[in-house]
Structure 1
Amino acid sequence: MNHPSRTPDAFPSLLGELVTALDLPTAQAATLQVQGNDSLAACFPVSDLATAAIGVTGLAAADLLAEGAPGLPVQVDRHLAAAWFKTSLRPLGWELPAVWDAVTGDYRTRDGWLRLHANAPHHRERALAVLGCANSHDAVAQAMAGGLGEDLETAIVAAGGCAAKLRTQAEWQAHPQGQAVGAEPLMAQEWTAANIASRWRPDPQRPLQGIRVLDLTRILAGPIATRLLAGLGAEVLRIDPPDWDEPAQAPEVTLGKRCARLDLRRPADRRVFEALLADADVLVHGYRADALERLGYGSAARRALNPALIDVSLCAYGWTGPWALRRGYDSLVQMSCGIAAAGRDWQGGEQPVPLPVQALDHATGYLMAAAVIRGLTGRLREGRTLSARLSLARTACLLTEHPAVACEPLYSGVREADYDTAPEPTAWGPGLRLRPPLQIGDLRLHWQRPATRLGSASAAWSTAG
């Protein structure tokens, strides 16, 4: 088996597409410097995507600081970029819970493969009800074996579960949803001329200090976006419903944030949320497209509450087409859009083979952060506001346009020197965090708060900033 990693021209091509999507100055893009050349082994150029996505976020921050002058040079460590696409935290003396539920996985059907995503208890219960089986991997495998993939997928999704049939790239491109996503821009942007005056100015060492980010995101792209914004100095307040938890991911993605809970079905909590939204600079949300609308907080209502709001949102399967409201996660989108099938063919096996990291989540998260920074730049310089929409499926289109070829050296794993020397006192215990992969001039990402538990803070903006 060959171990392809990246095409020689994939990185500049990917970077160019991201720079264009964000409308960054071409001269600014020329300041990006990449250190290292190792690559994750995959059938698509994952390390190129990681480096470009993190790099373009740095370019956006450099342009914000430049105020029209030549921007600071931006450096990305390619090895560390790939490492951050895996996991950034190594616990010391404690262990993270398993990432996947016992019945989450790929199952053989009568005509192929289907992936079931059952990490959330309510998603698992609804899938098991459709399958009519016990809560065990063997029982699910037996129930799946007699069914057709598309029938099972349709039934589980209709019941409120999460599943995806294995499709090839050609099948996805012929599918109505694949065609809809392919016609969408990588980042849909809507600028509103609001004539907003702001006294805020970016700090040279903490560019987003003084910026309030209201975070309504869950696993995994949205929290990655807001983690990056916190690393640049923003005050990030994450809001979750009372019954939600991410035990395997919270230590990874709550770095730098405060995390609170609100129940938006309760009038008192709605009043708190509306006050938070009115005082926010940025809203980042990753619920399905109609979720906030059903709660009474559609785009028009959000804009009425806060005309100066920078509004960046995420969905799984795109914003148009028959699956626009479908629940989805990175691993499901990889199954749907042909990535897992391409990995299977690359390895010459029978089972689906995903990417070595959840690259769609991570890359889209960094692009969301870059969109926020571009929104702040437009508001600062031109008094206008930005609404931007991204999707995992559209990021998948970007990646799959660049097949990989054999290239050395391969990524060899995380090294001891990749970690900061000082342990981070997370809410679960001490841990070592990877060194940041991004540098802007002499500015490095820095998080003032360690990772914390969901719901550990009050739903209020910090008086300390």
Structure 2
Amino acid sequence: WKAGDLEAAVVSAGGCAAVMHVRETWLASAPGAATATATPVVVSERRLPAGRAPAESDSPLSGTASPFSGVRVLDMTRVIAGPVCTKFLAAYGAQVLRLDPPGFAEVPALLPETTAGKRTAALDLRVDADRGIFENLVADTDVLVTGLRADALAGLGYGDGTLTAINPALIVASLNAYGWDGPWRHRRGFDSLVQMSCGIAAAGSLAVGRDEPFPLPVQALDHATGYLLAAAVGRALTRRLTRSTVSRIRASLIGTANLLWSLPRPADLPPAPSPRDFELVDTNTEWGPARRVPLPGSIAGVTAAWQIGAGPLGRHYPAW
């Protein structure tokens, strides 16, 4: 197979694939040119309708040790980037309810990490009864975070206009792989594929002198995008309270890749770390005791903690 033909065949069959490009070739392509200036996060705002602004005395952001205490987050994300965002919000007090289709099979090794602090439920948005439950949830939600393709939720009848009609104060934060402009805005993808497409894997192979893809040693685009998205949600909650505005947040892995490309690169490869190089903390999961890397960063005077242990998907009832 020629690389481009194989990529096209896999994608047309509903799968995910990416040709390895050097940076210059990617930027010369239609999807690369369309996203060449994409930033990690883009935010648009609209005014809250009169009478819908939350009162400061009722705000979950005031007078509490946990900044997001009382904030309700509906989590429709998968794998790493989106779950990193919602796990961060949960660590600082948010009620996070993750929704998946019934029987959805996530990458098993990720669940002990990405479901920490969250309740998990299953809904089929093609079934009328489940749609009713979903709409009731949305009506009482502060933030909806999605990691679906650009058209996926709208295709189920829940575009921005419909969500706003259900809940005018709803903050919607979405992320996708290849950005929100250009011919690949609807394409399935994930961190490893974006590294292949945008030139990162090729730059790695050149740096180490190997005739094969050499991506970053971690899913850096996923993790960085997740934390940037969480920061944008925190700012959106503050602006809803202080300025009576509602934010629509869009993030992308390709935007984060562009940011990474803009940063200086070290002259030499850093030494490969081992698990012994990192502090680990004891934790409990529904699969048993475990050890994990603590949440990065800190907020002065606030202790991050997940009140719900990690566990399987679909184990709770879909209600606040």
Indicate the SS of the match to 1:314.
Answer: strand
Q: CA deviation at 1:309?
A: 0.5
Whether 1:378 aligns to 2:232 is no
Question: What SS does the aligned partner of 2:169 have?
Answer: coil
- Residue 433 of structure 1 deviates from its aligned partner by 2.1
User: Could you tell me which residue of structure 2 aligns to residue 197 of structure 1?
Assistant: 54
Shift of 1:186: 3.1
Q: Does 1:220 align with 2:80?
A: yes
Q: Is the 8 A contact 2:92 2:304 kept in 1?
A: yes
Give the match for residue 418 of structure 1: 279
Q: 1:290/1:417 Cα in 2 relative to 1: closer, same or farther (>3 Å)?
A: closer
- SS of 1:164 mapped into structure 2: coil
**3-state SS of the aligned residue for 2:298?**
strand
In the other structure, the counterpart of 2:179 is 318
Match of 2:229 among 364, 368, 379: 368
Where 2:109 maps in the other structure, the secondary structure is coil
1:186 to 1:412, Cα distance in 2 relative to 1, 3 A: closer
User: Which of 87, 94, 107 lines up with 1:234 in the alignment?
Assistant: 94
Corresponding position: 1:171 with 2:28: no
Match of 2:310 in 1: 451
Matches within 5 A, 1:86-235: 147-194=1-48, 195=50, 196-198=53-55, 199-202=58-61, 203-235=63-95
Structure 1 letter corresponding to 2:79: I
| Alignment partner of 1:346 out of 192, 196, 207 | 207
Q: Does structure 2 conserve the Cα–Cα contact (< 8 Å) formed by 1:438 and 1:445?
A: no
Aligned partners of 2:202 and 2:15: how far apart in 1?
Answer: 22
Return the offset for 1:383. 1.1
Q: Distance in 1 between matches of 2:273 and 2:3?
A: 36
1:390 equivalent to 2:235? Answer: no
Amino acid at match of 2:78: R
Q: Distance in 2 between matches of 1:401 and 1:332?
A: 19
Q: Offset of 1:184 from its aligned partner? A: 3.0
Q: Given that residues 438 and 444 in structure 1 are in contact (C-alpha distance below 8 angstroms), is that contact kept between their aligned partners in structure 2?
A: no
Distance 1:186 1:254 in 2: 24
- Give the whole-Å Cα distance in 2 for the aligned partners of 1:353 and 1:417: 24
- If the length of structure 1 is used for normalisation, what is the TM-score? 0.65
| Aligned 8 A contact 1:436 1:444 in 2 | no
Deviation of residue 411 (structure 1)?
6.0
Q: Is the 8 A contact 1:212 1:281 kept in 2?
A: yes
1:439 and 2:293 are equivalent in the alignment: no
How far, CA to CA, are the matches of 1:288 and 1:354 in structure 2? Answer: 23
Question: Secondary structure at the residue paired with 1:280?
Answer: coil
What secondary structure does 1:167 align onto? coil
Superposition deviation, residue 401 in structure 1: 1.7
The residue that corresponds to 1:268 in the other structure is: 129
Aligned length: 313
Q: Deviations over 1:326-377 (max 9, x none)?
A: 0001000000000000000001011100100000011001111111101101
**Rounded Cα–Cα distance in structure 1 between residues aligned with 2:156 and 2:145:** 16
Letter of the structure 1 residue corresponding to residue 83 of structure 2 = P
User: Is the contact made by 2:151 and 2:186 (CA closer than 8 Å) also made in structure 1?
Assistant: yes
Q: Quick check: 2:30–2:183 contact (8 Å CA) kept in 1?
A: yes
How far has the Cα of 1:180 moved from its partner?
Answer: 1.0
Is the 2:7–2:19 contact (alpha carbons within 8 Å) kept by the matching residues of 1?
A: yes
Q: Residue 445 of structure 1 aligns to which amino acid in structure 2? A: A
1:193-240 deviation per Cα after TM superposition (whole angstroms, max 9, x unaligned):
115133214244211000000001111210110000000100000000
Name 1:20's counterpart in structure 2.
Answer: none
* Aligned position for 2:191: 330
Q: Which residue of 2 aligns with 1:8?
A: none
Q: How far 1:441 moved relative to its partner?
A: 1.1
Q: Deviations over 1:268-312 (max 9, x none)?
A: 000000000000000000111111111000010011111001110
The 1-side partners of 2:163 and 2:294 are apart by 37
Deviation at 1:407, TM superposition (A): 6.1
Give the distance between the partners of 2:206 and 2:39, measured in 1 at CA: 29
Q: Which region of structure 1 is more displaced relative to structure 2, 238-247 or 353-362?
A: 238-247
CA distance in 2, matches of 1:389, 1:279: 22
Which SS does the other structure have where 1:444 is aligned? coil
1:185 CA drift (Å) = 3.6
% identical aligned pairs: 50
Q: Indicate conservation of the 8 Å contact 2:80/2:223, yes or no.
A: yes
The answer for the alignment partner of 2:287 in structure 1 is 428
Q: Name which of structure 1's ranges 193-202 and 323-332 shifts more when overlaid on structure 2.
A: 193-202
- Root-mean-square deviation over aligned CA pairs: 1.5
Q: Is the 8 A contact 1:237 1:258 kept in 2?
A: yes
Runs of at least 5 residues in structure 1 that lack an aligned partner in the other structure: 1-146
Pairing 1:288-307 to 2, within 5 Å after superposition:
288-307=149-168
For residue 405 of structure 1, the aligned residue among 244, 266, 271 is 266
The answer to whether structure 1 residue 253 and structure 2 residue 114 are counterparts is yes
Q: Give structure 2 stretches of 5+ with no counterpart.
A: none
